[in-house]
Structure 1
């Protein structure tokens, strides 16, 4: 529910949509404060999209509602009955924005769980893992299973599965999120995709000694995963071992297993070292004209390809006789694929048209070199007028194109990740109010200084 002094603005749109927005997230002219994609969490739910700035404090999200009738199943439980009534009024024809004052209540369990689920999806895409910045990567299997647990916990946000089964074809497409995009109701898929992490998670739960809060957190996630798998009709040896383990704890009356001590990091250890790809090492030669750092725009590559550090892209321009060559090195993410990925560097000289340099992974870097196409009459000056060279890295077909400079926002996201890892390193009671570290963050915080 909205807290004391909170105002919720409910605004009808000209196309039948309704926006619900806390006053704190609105600008002076009543529009929702915008920011780069990587500063917002987005959750597709029944009849709406929930948007929340990850760099702000705790609070309710903005809801862009495209089906007010279906959204009523969760609106009252997230924003309160008065906001739900205001949305109904706008959908029924009210033309003016409505303002609902806070009721003074604490956020509901569903609101907290939804905030946590949204942040987890954000982290799976935008977490700024960087070896050079000392920000450990989140174990995808552990994060995926906790997202499955949270999705199951947030079922009120999504259509009932029995109701969905009665809809097919174009009607079903129209009922996804209004645009044909899948809802974030994917507990079964997340469990199936990350089954390999289930046994290590069980071993972590049974290990001892460990903080009681961590054991309770692990048990909560495992029980929700078990229930979600049962509801979805999933089966298999991993899930049967999970059920047997949970049933055994119920029979023994223990909620904090006490097995042999174990370092949880070893349960999810990645393979050591870096495999070699077919890329050739960059060879020195020619006269260096210029060198510098490029732009690491996180939006232009999928997660897990490039180290998120601001200075992970570097380049050197050389003169080889009449030719001009650019050499690019990009620090690889620790989970980057070894081959089969057409990653490229985009190079612009003095604002000219882009040159694309294919990159191949070798050890812990992506490398590539290419001769630059130079329009007739233009050259890379080497003395009185150094060239202005801009270098970025992207994945063709995924890249949305260059955007405005987002360095300040990227720095803020890095600071957020460091704060969360610091908090994760401190043991505190687990009460699932939406602010606790994810299990994957607890693992990342335990990474030794030798690793990061």
Structure 2
């Protein structure tokens, strides 16, 4: 997919609203874009692309100058500064920077990590394991600390404070340190990557004044150069069992349908649209066929039952999903869904003819009321399905790479290299009947 860093150069334009745009905005649905809010701008990468250079919308060129030159080069930074004083519509073509800009690669990896935290399509039915949120959060803390040149205000980026990320995801700190110790002693696994992450975490914790027993043990090991944990009296370790460190077996047998009983007759059934934009992560299984519906004749009336496979981390009470049902393009009917075992399920009356034509078009999707965004222009259900399939193919490829004996080097290929959470997910998945 073409990006901001192609051989044809970078187009910088002052838009009608005064925003200075660098390259064309990334196309496609929200779940195919990685986004970072940085000082004075918003950066966007296409997840399905490989360019480390993002498109940008610069709303405060003065604040953005602290990082523009490091990401796009001095010529682009100068063009943004000049165009900020020009009338709307003014533009300039700038040669791309030399490849290998370090901050650009780190920023792209940070944005991809935030994308994974929000859009990773974890699915029992598709066989895509979830990423451990705490381990991913700690690596994001390390990357945020590395990319601190991008930020001048803690409010710039949601989840953009390294100290807050470490506090939120502290549960993975001790297992991460044990993994790092064992990998260094056995000279196996992504030793360089682990070493880099724990050193960045230590530096970020030191700068932010974050304390704790695990961090003190880590700091001691870094200062003495001795990875061995003095609490361990059993000598050097073998390569670590990541399943025992991070994994958790999920007893997740799909519930059988038909729990709503009564005098009813099935007259239609089908599969709904599982649009990930319409609910937060951790609510529903991301498989395309996770949403199913059945229309019943109940006496003289008609009713629809909707079921959606829940995510293993879905809340048991309090917040509830809903289904939106549209018959032949008519007004939507909302069906409240309640968590029932490993399903979200609900039933409601349906206003359809008593004799339902065999080709009646019934569209069903799940959403979280109040969270559901407005539909994006040009994002029809068929286009969304193709995009979601492309994302599933991407994460399967990444998991396969993470399972390789020598995963991609994050220094050489920041967008292709797996996160530590992906390495663990691939290892645990291989050892479990997922």
The equivalent of 1:39 in structure 2 is: 32
Instruction: Please give the alpha-carbon distance, in whole angstroms, between the structure 2 residues aligned to 1:61 and 1:3.
Output: 8
The equivalent of 1:171 in structure 2 is: none
Work out whether 1:430 is the aligned partner of 2:409. yes
Instruction: Please give the alpha-carbon distance, in whole angstroms, between the structure 2 residues aligned to 1:45 and 1:265.
Output: 36
Distance change (3 Å), C-alpha of 1:273 and 1:3: closer
Work out whether 1:79 is the aligned partner of 2:72. yes
Is the 8 Å Cα contact of residues 264 and 443 (structure 1) preserved in structure 2? yes
Instruction: Please give the alpha-carbon distance, in whole angstroms, between the structure 2 residues aligned to 1:363 and 1:322.
Output: 31
Instruction: Please give the alpha-carbon distance, in whole angstroms, between the structure 1 residues aligned to 2:339 and 2:6.
Output: 53
The equivalent of 2:298 in structure 1 is: 320
Distance change (3 Å), C-alpha of 1:69 and 1:315: same
Work out whether 1:442 is the aligned partner of 2:416. no
Work out whether 1:381 is the aligned partner of 2:355. yes
The equivalent of 2:9 in structure 1 is: 7
Of the three residues 94, 112, 116, the one matched with 2:109 is 116
Single out whichever of 400-409 and 328-337 deviates more from structure 2.
400-409
Instruction: Please give the alpha-carbon distance, in whole angstroms, between the structure 2 residues aligned to 1:399 and 1:367.
Output: 19
The equivalent of 1:167 in structure 2 is: none
Instruction: Please give the alpha-carbon distance, in whole angstroms, between the structure 2 residues aligned to 1:210 and 1:291.
Output: 55
The equivalent of 1:165 in structure 2 is: none
Distance change (3 Å), C-alpha of 1:84 and 1:183: farther
Q: Secondary structure at the match of 2:122?
A: coil
Q: How does 1:157-196 map to 2 (within 5 A)?
A: 157-159=150-152, 182=157, 185-196=160-171
How many angstroms does 1:432 deviate by? 2.4
Distance change (3 Å), C-alpha of 1:183 and 1:440: closer
Work out whether 1:197 is the aligned partner of 2:155. no
Q: Alignment length, in residue pairs?
A: 413
Instruction: Please give the alpha-carbon distance, in whole angstroms, between the structure 1 residues aligned to 2:375 and 2:341.
Output: 28
Q: CA RMSD in A?
A: 2.7
Instruction: Provide, for residues 355-390 of structure 1, a one-character-per-residue CA deviation record: whole Å limited to 9, x for no partner.
Output: 222222223221222222x2xxx52424x5443221
The equivalent of 1:348 in structure 2 is: 326
Is the 8 Å Cα contact of residues 408 and 418 (structure 2) preserved in structure 1? no
Is the 8 Å Cα contact of residues 271 and 293 (structure 2) preserved in structure 1? yes
Instruction: Please give the alpha-carbon distance, in whole angstroms, between the structure 2 residues aligned to 1:18 and 1:106.
Output: 23
Is the 8 Å Cα contact of residues 290 and 308 (structure 2) preserved in structure 1? yes
How many angstroms does 1:348 deviate by? 2.0
Gaps of 5+ in 2: 229-234
The equivalent of 2:285 in structure 1 is: 307
How many angstroms does 1:297 deviate by? 0.6
Instruction: Provide, for residues 321-345 of structure 1, a one-character-per-residue CA deviation record: whole Å limited to 9, x for no partner.
Output: 1121211111111221222221111
Instruction: Please give the alpha-carbon distance, in whole angstroms, between the structure 1 residues aligned to 2:153 and 2:276.
Output: 35
The equivalent of 1:451 in structure 2 is: 433
Is the 8 Å Cα contact of residues 65 and 77 (structure 2) preserved in structure 1? yes
The equivalent of 2:92 in structure 1 is: 98
Instruction: Please give the alpha-carbon distance, in whole angstroms, between the structure 2 residues aligned to 1:77 and 1:101.
Output: 15
Distance change (3 Å), C-alpha of 1:282 and 1:267: farther
Is the 8 Å Cα contact of residues 243 and 431 (structure 2) preserved in structure 1? no
Instruction: Please give the alpha-carbon distance, in whole angstroms, between the structure 2 residues aligned to 1:190 and 1:354.
Output: 40
Distance change (3 Å), C-alpha of 1:329 and 1:285: farther
Distance change (3 Å), C-alpha of 1:83 and 1:240: same
Instruction: Please give the alpha-carbon distance, in whole angstroms, between the structure 2 residues aligned to 1:448 and 1:221.
Output: 24
How many angstroms does 1:187 deviate by? 1.0
Of the three residues 189, 214, 222, the one matched with 2:190 is 214
How many angstroms does 1:397 deviate by? 1.1
The equivalent of 1:29 in structure 2 is: none
Instruction: Please give the alpha-carbon distance, in whole angstroms, between the structure 2 residues aligned to 1:260 and 1:210.
Output: 6
Q: Secondary structure at the match of 1:448?
A: helix
The equivalent of 1:298 in structure 2 is: 276
Q: How does 1:264-303 map to 2 (within 5 A)?
A: 264-270=242-248, 272-273=250-251, 281-283=259-261, 285-303=263-281
Distance change (3 Å), C-alpha of 1:335 and 1:58: same
How many angstroms does 1:72 deviate by? 0.7
Gaps of 5+ in 1: 27-31, 162-175
Q: How does 1:321-340 map to 2 (within 5 A)?
A: 321-340=299-318
Is the 8 Å Cα contact of residues 316 and 327 (structure 1) preserved in structure 2? yes
